[in-house]
Structure 1
């Protein structure tokens, strides 16, 4: 550990960013940097601990919720629940200024409440929504923007896979994180719909005219297709807030409920069920490999004393808490332009979280702040994943249209993140009420 300091830590971080920029897998990049630091400064015992750290990181009851929530989302998609939900929302939201554009946002919010992944939300809603706009005169850029921007809600509205990982890495209550994400998620949904309505009121041509108001009887019948995802959200989140189940146990209940819904709609074949399992294994393996590598890197950094050294350095700068948070906002905003969200989160938590703790910042609040920064990264070029997912579903045209279409929603995300810094109660009010 002799001779190791902040400059060496900065070099290690730069190497990791370089490996990621070169296309090396996130988990491999973090593991290599961890092994390099262990080899140069700690010796063989710390290298031999690699396997133990990997096992310890993944042997977690909390992380068991990840594959369960992924499977639940897949069952809802393959079972036709999402498609019915989108059609039902179109009946209710279509008459608003902006028409079906609001349906994209509302469907993203509802699917987020049973999915936990923004990328999955973008792919699912994009696949369901784009055919509905084929013969309508909506502005193409705004259509794409509502899908890519609305899909960012996937990791903010609980359940959220990113919150599970953050909770596991920082020993923060996932239940509190879920509660903290509800109000910002609802506010952000409202902001997205408000900016869409405002744009369409100022420039009616963007929406190509309002959708016709459906008869009351048809709208009431459509509620039957909205009830299942809403009920699923209530069951999953209600069991956590009522103290009847942990997040992992509630995820298991959610899988059973999603399976029953898919069977009731008679859309789930054996082949589709096998596809659900295959996707779950693939996505979960990718996520947990990254988490395991991050835990090992955290282990090495902890022994080397990097978090303590960085905490002392930052606090010696004399920054106030608000100034520090604005600096952190700028740091993540730039980093999100070049890193995928999961790698950005797990790669910086070992370094940033000890400093956050030293400033006395609530770990639940910081978890929501970090998720908000991940949302920004999802629609920030050149690496914004939602941009490429929507472009891939679209299968044609320039990605520039997707980027331009997301700008109003990017502005709303920035505004809410800054409001979160100014008014922490936006995130902390509900968990303080629900768990105290």
Structure 2
């Protein structure tokens, strides 16, 4: 049954069926072939219950937060500020791409938004500064993935909702792995540009005075990060309320910078509505599919099969990681999260692993899926920003960072405390 399910899903994706429709059709097909009950009659009720869930209101709020920061010009000033602090390293602006992505991820919660925003600012610098184009593009694609892992993350909210795991605990667990992965990306660029000095482009030099004068440009995103995440851990706001506070703070910054206008807000709201509609349609389709999988017994059958193999917990976990890496090459990350988390998390918990730890491991796997062909969304986002050249350049540039993510996965498997230490201090 599992093989049939995967073949149908991959077939629909291969036919270029939109992912929300593919998940919905898969649920309907499995209902017709494996269930005696008309499960499709529950779609309207599930759609209403899902779309009115208070926790999911955070999604349009975080999307709007990123839209306002982009359209108010705050991101461009942030990028210029980080250039002053990281541009001296071998690789120059490539480190700024990663650092800016990490900082923007800590406010927007979206990987695609992060890649699109930083790419818009950074790509014009490739020819101007003489960088190796594939590697430069790879830093944008890989840096964008940090939006999944560094809090506040939309994907961590969805994982918490699907698996009944505490979102504040997941946010705490994501801090160290998220910024450690950003540091590993920077190390990857340093190694590449040390071995091939010509890839690093023009060396940038700034005085300490210039660096200190650039600090005010870094305060707004850090301030929003403190408003959003700080309000959660101070007990002032829930994740949804914290996202709303972030939007208010972003609007205040836009007004302070003289960028607040009806046209700017109209564009931000339109972008928010388009992105939110896409996400919610995928969520509703995935919830229906998960309902069907549960009713026909596939979820329990898969759990029984894996636990019945008699493998060690770590051996089974390595198998799960390998399977998810392969699936990530063919599935869009949001649909992969919504489809796989309810299937795999019960198995992981039955093996004795912490669901919070697995949530972070799964986010790194989703990050890997964002930059692995042929479905890696960030690859297409970065290529779309170029408007010239071939996709192969972006794929080649992202490959070293895929290997870096495998290193991060190994570190999480060997040292689970990387994810669990901060939550253990508060819970």
- Would you say same fold, with TM above 0.5? yes
- Structure 1 runs (4+) deviating above 4 angstroms are none
The alpha carbon displacement at 1:304 in A equals 2.0
Match in the other structure for 1:205: 198
Match in the other structure for 1:289: 281
In 1: Cα distance, 2:125 partner to 2:76 partner: 11
- Aligned counterpart for 1:47 among listed residues 23, 36, 40: 40
Match in the other structure for 2:309: 317
In 2: Cα distance, 1:51 partner to 1:241 partner: 36
In 2: Cα distance, 1:32 partner to 1:199 partner: 45
The alpha carbon displacement at 1:426 in A equals 0.9
1:378 lines up with 2:379 in the alignment: no
The alpha carbon displacement at 1:350 in A equals 2.8
The alpha carbon displacement at 1:383 in A equals 1.5
Written as runs of structure 1 = structure 2, the 5 A alignment for 1:149-160 is: 149-160=142-153
Match in the other structure for 1:327: 319
- Aligned counterpart for 1:38 among listed residues 26, 31, 44: 31
Match in the other structure for 2:49: 56
1:419 lines up with 2:394 in the alignment: no
**Do the aligned partners of residues 204 and 42 (structure 1) sit closer, same or farther apart at CA in structure 2, a change above 3 Å counting?**
closer
The alpha carbon displacement at 1:47 in A equals 2.5
The alpha carbon displacement at 1:45 in A equals 4.8
Question: Does the aligned pair in 2 maintain the 1:39–1:47 contact within 8 Å?
Answer: no
**Do the aligned partners of residues 13 and 350 (structure 1) sit closer, same or farther apart at CA in structure 2, a change above 3 Å counting?**
farther
Structure 2 segments unaligned to the other structure (5+ residues)? none
Structure 1 segments unaligned to the other structure (5+ residues)? 1-7
Written as runs of structure 1 = structure 2, the 5 A alignment for 1:248-397 is: 248-397=240-389
Match in the other structure for 2:233: 241
- Aligned counterpart for 2:170 among listed residues 177, 180, 203: 177
Match in the other structure for 1:15: 8
Q: RMSD of the alignment, in Å?
A: 1.4
TM-score when normalising by structure 2: 0.97
Of the structure 1 ranges 253-262 and 360-369, higher mean CA displacement relative to structure 2 is found in: 360-369
- Aligned counterpart for 1:404 among listed residues 387, 396, 410: 396
The alpha carbon displacement at 1:268 in A equals 3.2
Q: How big is each residue's C-alpha offset from its partner over 1:345-367, in whole Å with a ceiling of 9 and x where there is no partner? A: 11222322221222122111111
TM-score when normalising by structure 1: 0.95
In 2: Cα distance, 1:16 partner to 1:353 partner: 20
Question: Does the aligned pair in 1 maintain the 2:126–2:132 contact within 8 Å?
Answer: no
The alpha carbon displacement at 1:44 in A equals 5.0
- Aligned counterpart for 1:117 among listed residues 110, 118, 122: 110
Q: Secondary structure at the match of 2:206?
A: coil
Question: Does the aligned pair in 1 maintain the 2:165–2:355 contact within 8 Å?
Answer: yes
The alpha carbon displacement at 1:299 in A equals 1.6
